[in-house]
């Protein structure tokens, strides 16, 4: 499929991972899902395994990963569910994971992430931790697995972004908050913008290798570990709104809450749907391609993708910066 029209599916914001993958056979295919010990990653892995794929849970805590893998094997009847150690803030850990991989890789879901760290934290190399974990770690992982993805033919990468990317473009002049005041949401926002820009440039560079990459916004799910660093008062207000069946609001933008099954659906659809064949460099939410916003609408719109997140020049600049940052 080479259309430039926006992709529309028969699914919507309430669709679940099980619904979007129904009828799809992934037998003989191999998938890696990062951060799959719990939450969206675990549900994504469960859906892929349920469709017959061999799935590796790439996790920092392998004990938790093994418990989840055991549960997925039991609920799906698929014994080909494996666990690999991966710390996305540690380039040596990433290299160990990619060096150990053998054979083709058909699906890579870059699901793991951290959000709204309350204080500025940096890696030993000086990179702000959200940018390092959410973007640089996944960048190095995809680069290290490139040959396996290329060997699969028509491989897909799913890059989990967020509506939070509205908070900030990638501030190339001060990514690490060396010369500006640290703000948890600005840091998170630029890392999520980076996730979209990665998908844009990966598709541009790797299309001839049969590899496509797209970014997704899963929605807001308060029952995952992603919210663990959130301001406690804000998190309590959101959970109260969720329990009351009301809309939530972060940074002034309203949204509906989703369950884990609903939140993982867009990742699963983009990773497996026949409609996504040959489609790359795009941003999806609620199981459909998102509207590209005007610059004025960014920050106030409840959904959509910011134009700076799809900017090919910024995507190319980020790629070159990431190559230097990871020593690739």
Q: Known catalytic residues?
A: 188
Q: Whole-angstrom Cα distance, residue 213 to residue 142?
A: 10
Residue 245 buriedness (CB in 10 A; 0-12 / 13-18 / 19+): exposed
Write down the residue that tokens 């560079």 correspond to: 205
Helix runs in the chain, H state only: 17-21, 39-50, 62-76, 91-100, 129-131, 137-144, 146-152, 184-206, 232-243, 260-263, 265-272, 312-326
Write down the residue that tokens 């010369």 correspond to: 179
Measured at the alpha carbon of residue 251, what is the angle toward residues 43 and 304, in degrees to the nearest 5? 60
Determine contact, residues 99/140, Cβ cutoff 8 Å.
Answer: no
Sequence-distant (6+) residues with CB within 8 A of 114 are 129, 130, 133, 134, 226, 229
Determine contact, residues 146/206, Cβ cutoff 8 Å.
Answer: yes
Measured at the alpha carbon of residue 197, what is the angle toward residues 324 and 139, in degrees to the nearest 5? 45
């Amino acid at each position: 499929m080479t259309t430039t029209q926006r992709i529309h599916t028969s699914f919507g914001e309430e669709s679940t991972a099980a619904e979007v993958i129904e009828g799809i056979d992934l037998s003989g295919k191999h998938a890696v899902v990062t951060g799959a010990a719990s939450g969206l990653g675990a549900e994504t892995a469960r859906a892929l395994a349920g469709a017959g794929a061999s799935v590796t849970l790439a996790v920092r805590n392998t004990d938790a990963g093994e418990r989840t893998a055991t549960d997925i094997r039991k609920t799906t009847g698929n014994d080909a569910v494996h666990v690999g150690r991966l710390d996305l803030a540690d380039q040596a850990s990433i290299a160990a994971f990619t060096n150990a991989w053998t054979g083709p890789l058909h699906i890579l879901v870059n699901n793991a992430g951290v959000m709204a760290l309350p204080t500025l934290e940096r890696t030993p190399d000086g990179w702000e931790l959200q940018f390092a974990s959410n973007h640089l770690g996944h960048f190095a992982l995809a680069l290290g697995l490139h040959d396996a993805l290329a060997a699969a033919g028509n491989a897909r990468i799913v890059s989990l972004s967020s509506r939070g990317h509205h908070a900030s473009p990638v501030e190339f002049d001060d990514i690490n908050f060396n010369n500006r005041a640290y703000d948890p949401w600005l840091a998170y926002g630029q890392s999520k913008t980076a996730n979209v820009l990665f998908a844009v440039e990966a598709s541009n560079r790797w299309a001839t290798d049969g590899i496509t990459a797209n970014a997704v916004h899963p929605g807001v799910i308060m029952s995952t570990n992603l919210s663990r660093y959130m301001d406690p008062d804000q998190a309590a207000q959101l959970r109260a709104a969720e329990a009351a069946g009301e809309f939530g609001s972060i940074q002034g933008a309203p949204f509906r809450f989703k369950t884990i099954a609903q939140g993982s659906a867009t990742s699963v659809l983009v990773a497996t749907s026949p409609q996504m064949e040959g489609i790359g460099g795009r941003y999806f939410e609620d199981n459909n391609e998102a509207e590209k916003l005007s610059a004025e609408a960014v920050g106030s719109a409840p959904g959509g993708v910011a134009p700076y997140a799809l900017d090919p020049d910024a995507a190319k600049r980020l790629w070159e910066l990431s190559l230097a940052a990871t020593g690739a």
